[in-house]
Amino acid sequence: MKEHEMIVQLSIPADAQFLDIARLTLYGLAAKMGFSYEEIEDMKVAVSEACNNVVLHAYNGRSGDIHLRFEMSADALSIVIKDEGKGFDYERAAKQAASLSGKPLKDVKVGGLGLFLMEALMDDVRVTTKGGTEVRLTKFRHHGEGEHAHDCISPSSVQEQA
């Protein structure tokens, strides 16, 4: 853990009916950190996409869990979505999706665009696929901006209150 970083961890069943818990947790933490409504909505979409991928692909119909880790620092919120299911070939999927840029819409297959959506909505996206899949989504804070910027918490402010 980095200095001046707070961590919140959450594990939920890999079932679509529990994804709202991940989104609500994200909303609460991001609002307290001072992110704007638009930034929070972008993060919620990206996290939902990562969690949906776990529900649809990780466990092949077996039960399993989604492990979420919210890492709050003074300048960023990172959300790590991890499963222990079957991993996938991220580099191959990224190459296939990259080759879509010149194709007509009728030739594009549904699915596989979630990674691009996450990359478009977040400042940094990293994927590792050993022992399951881990997606790390990061959104950087732009100090002084956002509807909650005047009333935000940061890891350092919480330590000062203790």
Residue 3 has pLDDT above 70, yes or no: no
Mean pLDDT along residues 92-109: 58
Question: Which of 155, 114, 149, 150 minimizes the C-alpha distance to 135?
Answer: 114
Q: What does the pLDDT read at residue 75? A: 93
Question: Across-strand partners of 13?
Answer: 65
Nearest 5°: phi and psi at 58? Answer: -70, -40
Q: In this predicted model, which residue has the larger pLDDT, 103 or 116?
A: 116
Q: Does domain 6-151 have CATH number 3.30.565.10?
A: yes
In one letter, which amino acid is 69?
R
Q: What is the dihedral of CA 52, 58, 59, 64, to 10 degrees?
A: -70
Q: What does the pLDDT read at residue 104? A: 66
Q: In sequence order, which residues have a C-beta less than 8 Å from that of residue 13 and are 6 or more positions away?
A: 63, 64, 65, 66
- Rounded to a whole number of angstroms, the distance between the first and last alpha carbons of the chain is 19
